[in-house]
Structure 1
Amino acid sequence: MSETIALETVTNLPRSKRLKAVTSGTHDTLDKAIMAGEPFRDRERYALFLKVQHQFHRDINALYDNAKLDAVLPDLQGRRRFSLIGDDLSDLAVSAPEITDAPVFASSDDIDLPTALGWLYVAEGSNMGAAFLLKAAQKIGLSEAFGARHLAGAPEGRGLHWRTFTQALDDINLSEDEEDKLVAGAESAFKRVHALVKQMFG
């Protein structure tokens, strides 16, 4: 009975909150893996974290130029962080990771909209949670102007930046099948980052 009530409660939530609820297990597993790697112990460990970020944001970089996404999401271009991560690596005199495989989303792709939205949900959520990470980075001498540029909040504030994204996500019309693809996209994004964390930190 309690499981049925819980399911009904989740179903009645706005889409963004449902997505958070159904992906919470995968998200929590990723958070624990990241913190277990002690990415803010020193700059050497942080550089590994930057390489994880670089690879993930390379995977989604083409999405910010996609017309279909731009039509439904506010300030899509302004949400891109790939170049900022490159600047952070340069600040620390660290080379970008050598990558031989293609990004998950290529500029030539005819993207599946709900799948792409799931990946962007993960990227945007990480930016919302970056306030905590920025404080940790400051303890090793980094800031929004040096080494931790990609962790900086939006000019209008993290909360409003996140709410405008989730409101747009909630307002998009999706079929039941597309809802499933949205969830699968978010799960795939979390798992991709987890795989990169394991690769970098061991």
Structure 2
Amino acid sequence: MTSPAAQGSLALRLKTETAPLHDKLDKLVMSLKPFDTRENYGRFVVAQYLFQRDIESLYDDQAYAALIPDLATRPRLAAAHADLDDLGVAVPATDETPRGEGMELPEGLGWLYVSEGSKLGAAFLFKEAGQKLGLDENFGARNLAAPADGRGAAWKRFVQALDGSGLSTAEQDRVVAGASAAFERFAVLLSRSYDLKDEPSLAA
């Protein structure tokens, strides 16, 4: 059988090698019952806001834009901020330097992979937010809403950009490492937002 790396698809390699982290993060999210109440959902949006704050600078970086032409249409920090306002939740204050600042391109692509990929899974979350909490793309659930031309089309373009990036095997290793770090970071942000006793490690 040909390995994903040998096939030349960076996106397939990322999907394969980060699958355990992705599955654990999904289970963590649902264990926190974010759609039981608007207050509980607000905690999820706080984590989303902080994660998007981490990577906001990447969406403005010309090195990434050269690989992903529609990159400027993809950030969700403003959407998460507006959702917090809708929910009456204070925008979290933090002195932490955003993770994306000064991040080199291979690692940054891994972080963007996690953020962009989450838009696919957000289809279910968006539906839950609507059915259980009465939220939508105009109030409270902007951060979960589909891109203008649909989730599938936006994801396909992103995958094509990744697979056409021409990165070496060593650089691809760094992309995978960046994606793994991004999954772990979101888990930590969730644990803080929901006041969990311990910060989880998805790799454990």
Aligned counterpart for 1:113 among listed residues 105, 128, 142: 105
CA distance in 1, matches of 2:81, 2:190: 18
Q: Structure 1 vs Structure 2: percent identity of aligned residues?
A: 45
Superimposed CA distance per residue, residues 133-185 of structure 1 (whole angstroms, 9 cap, x where no aligned partner): 00110121101110001111111111000000001100011112101100000
How many pairs does the alignment contain?
Answer: 193
CA distance in 1, matches of 2:48, 2:125: 13
Amino acid aligned to 1:61: E
TM (norm. structure 1) is 0.92
State yes or no: 1:42 paired with 2:37: yes
TM (norm. structure 2) is 0.91
CA distance in 2, matches of 1:84, 1:95: 14
Amino acid aligned to 1:119: W
Instruction: Name the counterpart of 2:188.
Output: 195
Aligned counterpart for 2:63 among listed residues 56, 68, 87: 68
Amino acid aligned to 1:173: G
Give the C-alpha shift of residue 196 in structure 1.
1.0
Instruction: Name the counterpart of 1:126.
Output: 118
CA distance in 1, matches of 2:58, 2:115: 11
Aligned counterpart for 1:28 among listed residues 9, 19, 23: 23
The CA RMSD over aligned residues, in Å, is: 1.1
Instruction: Name the counterpart of 2:11.
Output: 16
Runs of 4+ in 1 over 2 A off after TM superposition: 8-13
Report if the CA contact (8 A) 2:4-2:10 is conserved: no
User: Structure 2: which 5+ residue stretches go unaligned?
Assistant: 197-204
Instruction: Name the counterpart of 2:201.
Output: none
CA distance in 1, matches of 2:190, 2:143: 18
Instruction: Name the counterpart of 1:136.
Output: 128
Instruction: Name the counterpart of 1:56.
Output: 51
Superimposed CA distance per residue, residues 4-30 of structure 1 (whole angstroms, 9 cap, x where no aligned partner): x5xx43334421011100000011111
CA distance in 1, matches of 2:165, 2:4: 18
Report if the CA contact (8 A) 1:74-1:164 is conserved: no
User: Structure 1: which 5+ residue stretches go unaligned?
Assistant: none
Superimposed CA distance per residue, residues 75-129 of structure 1 (whole angstroms, 9 cap, x where no aligned partner): 11100100010000001111111212111022xx3x4111100000000001121
Aligned counterpart for 1:168 among listed residues 161, 168, 176: 161
CA distance in 2, matches of 1:85, 1:198: 18
Aligned counterpart for 2:174 among listed residues 172, 181, 187: 181
Report if the CA contact (8 A) 1:65-1:77 is conserved: yes
Amino acid aligned to 1:10: P
